[in-house]
């Protein structure tokens, strides 16, 4: 591959504008971990990270939590480009023993709420006793599905964002800050 093509592939134009800096994310993730630790001191939940969006958020959050948190991941998708398709794929990736367990879902962003509502329902069907949600970002706009989020990092306007795990059709995930596309 030519160098020129390669550069284009990793940084498609136009370069998105920074919404939340790396420093602000780091600080907020630390606070969230502190809050989670405090309220999970009696029963340790299974942490379920939704891939690929929660990739970096999950990794950073985990490193701020004690090593007693059991971690599982499931690949879930619903987006094509900047729009929700309304169809959640990958729910069957959430399998295994959740009977009687407290589960903490970790995801990148709450938008329409369909993903988290479907994942939560699936976990309860698999016998989870309690399901809490921790998301890095919450979009302010009206939701199609009501979802209770126990821990949220930042509330943002209804804009499509990328970086720190969030992608636009697979691109921009590796950005260290969160940017508006
Ligand atoms: P929901 O089901 O509409 O709440 O969408 C949740 C999922 O869509 C998230 O887990 C993300 O993977 C993806 N998503 C929603 N909004 C954005 C965005 O602004 N940027 C990147 N991904 C998004
Ligand atoms: Mg996602």
Could you confirm whether 111 is annotated as catalytic? yes
Ligand 1, atom 5, residue with closest C-alpha: 111
Closest atom of ligand 1 relative to the 110 alpha carbon: 4
Q: Per-residue pLDDT tens for 128-147?
A: 999 999 999 999 986 777 89
pTM: 0.90
| Sign of the torsion angle spanned by Cα atoms 73, 75, 78, 81 | positive
Of 11, 35, 41, 52, which is closest to residue 134 (Cα–Cα)?
35
Q: Per-residue pLDDT tens for 36-45?
A: 999 887 788 9
């Amino acid at each position: 591959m030519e160098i020129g093509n390669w550069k284009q592939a990793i940084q498609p134009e136009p370069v998105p504008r920074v919404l939340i800096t790396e420093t602000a994310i780091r600080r907020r993730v630390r606070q969230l971990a502190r809050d989670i630790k405090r309220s999970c001191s009696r029963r340790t939940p299974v942490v379920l990270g939704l891939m690929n969006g929660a990739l970096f958020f999950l990794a950073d959050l985990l490193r701020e939590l004690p090593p007693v948190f059991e971690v599982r991941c499931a690949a879930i998708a619903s987006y094509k480009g900047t729009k929700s398709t309304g169809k959640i794929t990958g729910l069957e990736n959430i399998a295994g023993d959740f009977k009687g367990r407290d589960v903490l879902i970790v995801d990148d962003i709450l938008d329409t709420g369909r993903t988290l509502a479907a994942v939560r329902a699936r976990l309860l069907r698999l016998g989870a006793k309690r399901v809490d949600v921790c998301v890095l970002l919450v979009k302010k706009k009206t939701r199609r599905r009501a979802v209770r989020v126990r821990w949220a990092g930042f509330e943002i306007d209804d804009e499509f964002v990328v970086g720190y795990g969030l992608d636009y059709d697979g691109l921009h995930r590796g950005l260290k800050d969160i940017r508006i596309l």
